[in-house]
Amino acid sequence: MAPAHFAHARRLQLVAGVAMMFAATTLRAALVEIGWDASGSFERAIDIAPGKFAELCGRLAKGQTIAWSFKSPLPLDFNIHFHEGREVVFPAKQNQTTSLQGELKVPVDQDYCWVWENKAGGPGSVVIVRHR
């Protein structure tokens, strides 16, 4: 069975898909699952339409340290979060930034998500680099 967060995200994608059928403009949001390569790294470029978001999620184990960084040509709202019951915990959060880097020291076995939201008027993209 899929973790609760992914099930919730899938429901949101379904709602967004139905809304797209009735919308005059294209809605764009991205939900991407982290897939570590053989060297334990993950890199991805994601386009984020104005007013939309991209969410990159994956299961991490307590004790792992994830060094992460990103760059974008436009300022984006950014956060790393996970869910503890109904509470959302934000190990990192920064609004309107074009680049950021840090380390996530994983406190509990959980699904963790990196999220970027494009509140700017133009198309944005983000280049993500993460290493285990």
pLDDT along the chain (132 residues), means of 10: 44 32 37 75 83 90 90 92 93 94 93 91 71 50
Fold of 29-131: Jelly Rolls (2.60.120)
Q: What is the pLDDT of residue 82?
A: 95
Half-sphere exposure of 96 (CA within 13 A, CB side): 3
Asked if residue 66 lies in contact with residue 56, where contact means CB atoms within 8 angstroms, the answer is no
Tally Cβ neighbours within 10 Å of residue 57: 20
Q: What is the pLDDT of residue 5?
A: 45
